[in-house]
Structure formats: C-alpha cells, structure tokens
Amino acid sequence: FRLSRRPDIGEKINVSFEFFPPKTDAMAARLWETTQRLEPLAPYFVSVTYGAGGSTRERTARTIERIIKETSLTPAAHLTCVDAKCDEVDGVIRQFLDLGVKRFVALRGDPAEGVGSHYQPHPGGYASTADLVAALARHGAEDISVSAYPEKHPESPDYATDIDVLKRKVDSGAKRAITQFFFDNDVYERYVERVRRAGIYAPVVPGILPVHNFAQVANFAGRCGAHVPAWLAERFEGLEDDPQTHMLVAAAVAAEQVLDLVERGVTDFHFYTMNRADLAIAICHMIGIRAQALVEEEKPAAA
C-alpha cells in the first residue's frame, strides 16, 4: 500500500467510531480501555448500537451515560423502531435526550428472527425509518444519521427502491447516511453517484469494518448482503491460527481501502470498531489522524 501521504491530510478528515454495549464486566472493561485509547484522536462522534427490539435499551443508555460523564467524546445513540409502539420509542428518545444526547443514528432494525425474515411494522409503531427520523426531529434531536447500502439492502428488490428509502429518510431530516461495510471501493463510488443522481446531497459516510476475524466477517457479510471479494478471502487464507499475522494483514487491508477512498475525495469515515482500538488507531494514523492534546476548559477568572 501507499506509504507516502500529504502531511496536511489528517486535518481535513473526520472519523467516528461505533461501539456495541458490553454484556459482561470483562467486555465493559475492554470497551472502556478502547474509548480511552480512541479519545485522543478527537473523533467527530462515537456511536453506541441498540439491540434488536430494544433488547439493549438499558445497556445502550448506561454506556452512553458513562461516555458523557467520564470522557470528552460526543455520543450518538442508535435507535430502532422494530417491534415497538410509537410511545415506547418516544420514551427512549426522551430518555436519551434527558441524558444529554443530541445525536442519533435512526434505524428500522430487524425482527427478532433476524435479517431477511419478513419485516412487518408494529401496528402501533413507526411504519418506516423515515417516520422515526421525523419523530426524532420533532423531539429536538440535533443531528440524525441513517443507514445506506452500497450493495443494496438484502430485502430491497432493486437500487431504485433502496435509494428511494434513503431519500425519504433524508427528506425527513437525516443529516448524513452511514454505509453498511463494503470492501470494493468502486461499488461505493457507483452507489454515491446513483444517490446524487436521485437528488440526495447528504454525505454518504463509508462504514469501514476492520477485519478482526475473517471467518466472522464472512459469515456476517453473507447475512447482511455485503460481498466478500475473492481477493479478500485469499489475503486471510491460512491465517486462522495466526492471530498476529491476521492482525497485520487486517491493518494493511483496511489502510489500503481507506487511503484509496481518501484519494477519491472521501473526507469522513465511520469505523465499526467491534469495541477494539488497535486497528482503528493504526488506520487513523495512516490517514494522518494523530492524538490531540486534551485541552483543559478555561475557568472564569476569580473576581
């Protein structure tokens, strides 16, 4: 991969990091170490996912509360509308707003049976993600992100339908779209062209998944409609029992992808961190993002 970079490039790039709410004390400790290591990179925001059907509601809220209380990071709360009545969803929105959350990632979510099972809006719930976005805006959310699918959502019959759903979300108040992960930058570029042709001008921020575990990623990709190119499988082939080399290859693969996107003019990146810091830090370093000194807030002069 390319080794020389323009020294000024890091200043023009915004990154955000995604976490999932930890289930155990050991996972919480790891997430906490990760947030502390990522904090000096001054991300634009860090987002915390929301389990299907609200299954992680309290854990998502507790994780966000800790981020607010103990770090300088700006949190964004993911929120889904699947399997919930409007007033339940509104209650969660108010809970997050009361914690001081101003940013949200609004999603439909998947039914409990998983991706691909036929989605039915809850009879008393928000019928679509666009309706959830509108509800968040009505409640005073300041910054709403939504999902986008460069390889189209697996339930989508075609790109036109998929992009129409995105348009409705943006027209309802979403400020940016964050993509499902992908490994072929040409696919992303073609998708952004389609989105622009449809009259959507919101940023389409690439979601980057550093490959911590190739077997898991391949399995997950199969379920969410993301294509794993043969060249990627070849790079990780034979590394199942060699975690150190796997990690080095993963850093090289992700750095190559991100550097190529920078060359194509992309300035914002969202990292699916899997609650791990190493690869995210290495890739950020490659694009010129370095630790920022934390500045102590100015205190008013004593009278």
Q: How far apart are CA 273 and CA 17, in angstroms?
A: 6
| Exposure class string for 267-281: b at 16+ Cβ within 10 A, else e | ebbbbbbbbbbebbb
Q: How far apart are CA 200 and CA 192, in angstroms?
A: 9
* Three-point CA angle 158, 177, 169, nearest 5°: 70
Torsional class of 99: left (φ above 0), alpha (ψ -120 to 50), beta (otherwise): alpha
Residue 161 CB, nearest approach to ligand FAD (Å): 5
Residue 4 CB, nearest approach to ligand FAD (Å): 32
Q: Taking CB under 6 A as the rule, does residue 219 contact ligand FAD?
A: no
- Total residues at the site for ligand FAD (CB under 6 A)? 24
Work out which of 14, 71, 156, 267 binds ligand FAD, going by CB under 6 A: 156
Q: How far apart are CA 200 and CA 122, in angstroms?
A: 28
Contact characters 70-109, ligand FAD, x per CB under 6 A: --------x-x------------------------x-xxx
Q: How far apart are CA 215 and CA 34, in angstroms?
A: 23
Contact characters 20-59, ligand FAD, x per CB under 6 A: -----------------------------xx-x-------
Contact characters 112-131, ligand FAD, x per CB under 6 A: ---x------------xx--
Q: Indicate the residue among 161 and 292 with the shorter CB distance to ligand FAD.
A: 161
**Catalytic residue (choose from 18, 39, 58, 256):** 18
Q: Indicate the residue among 156 and 267 with the shorter CB distance to ligand FAD.
A: 156
Q: How far apart are CA 250 and CA 267, in angstroms?
A: 21
Q: With contact defined as beta carbons under 8 Å apart, do 216 and 223 qualify?
A: no
Q: Indicate the residue among 19 and 247 with the shorter CB distance to ligand FAD.
A: 19
Residue 6 CB, nearest approach to ligand FAD (Å): 29
| Alpha carbon distances (Å) from 68 to 61, 102, 176 | 11, 11, 23
Residues across the chain: 303
Residue 115 CB, nearest approach to ligand FAD (Å): 5
Q: How far apart are CA 126 and CA 118, in angstroms?
A: 16
Instruction: Mark whether 18 is an active-site residue.
Output: yes
Interface with ligand FAD (CB under 6 A) = 49-50, 52, 78, 80, 105, 107-110, 115, 128-129, 147, 149, 153, 155-156, 161-162, 165, 178, 180, 207
**What residues are labeled active site?**
18
